[in-house]
Structure 1
Amino acid sequence: MKIRTATIADIDAIAKVESLCFPQAEAATREQIAERVKAYGNHFWLMLDEGKLIAFVDGMVTDEADLTDEMYEKADMHNEQGQWQMIFGVNTIPEYRRNGYAGELIKRAIADAKEQGRKGLVLTCKDKLVRYYAKFGFENEGVSESEHGNVVWNQMRLEF
C-alpha cells in the first residue's frame, strides 16, 4: 500500500470513493472535491493498492478552533499557516474495510500535523465512531453545532 497526497488527476477517483462511503446528503460533490484538492491537495492523504484508490483522509487547515459546516462548502477558508488540521472525511471503500487502512491514514495525518507545528486536529463523527477515534487520542468535546447532512455529530479534538 502506498500513501501520498492528492493532485488534480485524483479528483474523479476521490469523488467515487466519497460516494461509496457517505450517504448523498453527507458526501461532498465532485465539484466540492475539486475545489478542495485545488486549495489543499497536500491535506488529502490517499492510500493506493497497486494504483487503485482504496481510502483517503482529508481536511483543511485553519486558525478556527472548531469545525463548522461552512468549512465543507468553502475551500478558500483553508489557511496553510493555520493552527488546526480539520478532518472532513475518513473514507475506505467497502471491500477494504476492517484492515486498518483508515487507521494508517489517520496516524499519517496526525504525524504530518505534528511535524507542521499545528496545535492539533479536529473532526466530527457520529456516536458509533467516538470510541474508534478515541483510540488515536481524540477526545470527545460533545455534540457539535454541525447540521451537516441533517445528522447529529460529535466534535473530537486531538491536541498536541
Structure 2
Amino acid sequence: MEITAVRLTEIEQVMAIELAGFSAAEAGTRTQYLERIAQFTDTFLVARAGEKVIGFICGPAVAENELADWMYERAPKNLPVGGNQMILTIAVAPQWQKRHVGSQLLLALEEVARQKERQQIILTCLASRISFYKRNGYYNAGVSASQHAGERWYTMKKDLNLLQSVREVASMQPKKD
C-alpha cells in the first residue's frame, strides 16, 4: 500500500468509496469532491493497492479552530502554513476495512500537517467512531455544533504542538482538594 496525493483521474474510485461508507445525507457530491481535489491539493490523500484506490482522507487547512458545516459545502483553499488541519472525510473501501488503512491515512495526513506547522487536527464523527479516533491519539472535545445530515456529531482533536498537548491533558485531570 502507498499513500500519496489524489489524482483527478481517481474521482470515480473516490466517489465509490464515499457512497459505500456514508448515507446519502452524509455523503459529499461529485461536484464537492472535484472542488476539494482542486482546493486541498496537498491534504487530499489516497491509499492505493497498485492502481486501485482503497481509501482516502481529505480536509482543508484553515485558521478556524472548529470544523464548520460550511466547509463541507464550499471547500476553502488551504493555508500555506500554520492554522489547523480539518478532516472532512476519511473513508476506506469495505473490503479493506479492519486492516489499519484508516489509521495509516490519519498518520500520513498528520505528517503533512506537522510539516506545514499546523496546530491541531480537527474532525467530527459519530459516537460509534470515537473509540477509533481515541486509539489514534485524538481526544473527544465534546458534542459538535454541526447539523450536517441531521446527525449528532462529536468533535475530535489531536494537538500537534507538544507543549499545548501537555497542558490539555493536565487540564483534563481531576483537581485534588
TM bucket by the smaller chain?
Answer: over 0.9
Could you say what secondary structure the match of 1:114 adopts? helix
Q: Does 1:14 align with 2:21?
A: no
Alignment of 1:4-153 (within 5 A): 4-76=4-76, 78-153=78-153
Q: Report the alpha carbon displacement of residue 81 of structure 1 after superposing the two structures with TM.
A: 3.3
* Structure 1 residues 96-148: Cα deviation after superposition (integer angstroms, max 9, x where no partner): 11011111111111122112111010000111111110122211110000011
Is residue 138–residue 156 contact of structure 2 (8 Å, CA) maintained in 1? yes
CA RMSD of aligned residues (A): 1.2
Could you say what secondary structure the match of 1:99 adopts? coil
Q: Which runs of 5+ in 1 are unaligned?
A: none
Rounded Cα–Cα distance in structure 1 between residues aligned with 2:57 and 2:116? 17
Is residue 122–residue 157 contact of structure 2 (8 Å, CA) maintained in 1? yes
Is residue 26–residue 148 contact of structure 2 (8 Å, CA) maintained in 1? yes
TM-score (norm 2): 0.86
Q: Report the alpha carbon displacement of residue 82 of structure 1 after superposing the two structures with TM.
A: 4.5
* Structure 1 residues 19-78: Cα deviation after superposition (integer angstroms, max 9, x where no partner): 111111000000000011011132111011111011011111100000000001111354
Is residue 21–residue 93 contact of structure 2 (8 Å, CA) maintained in 1? yes
Is residue 114–residue 120 contact of structure 1 (8 Å, CA) maintained in 2? no
Rounded Cα–Cα distance in structure 1 between residues aligned with 2:39 and 2:84? 16
TM-score (norm 1): 0.95
Rounded Cα–Cα distance in structure 1 between residues aligned with 2:32 and 2:103? 24
Rounded Cα–Cα distance in structure 1 between residues aligned with 2:129 and 2:68? 19
State the AA in 2 paired with 1:152: R
Rounded Cα–Cα distance in structure 1 between residues aligned with 2:82 and 2:28? 23
Is residue 14–residue 53 contact of structure 1 (8 Å, CA) maintained in 2? yes
State the structure with more CA Rg. Answer: 2
Identity %: 29
Could you say what secondary structure the match of 2:65 adopts? coil
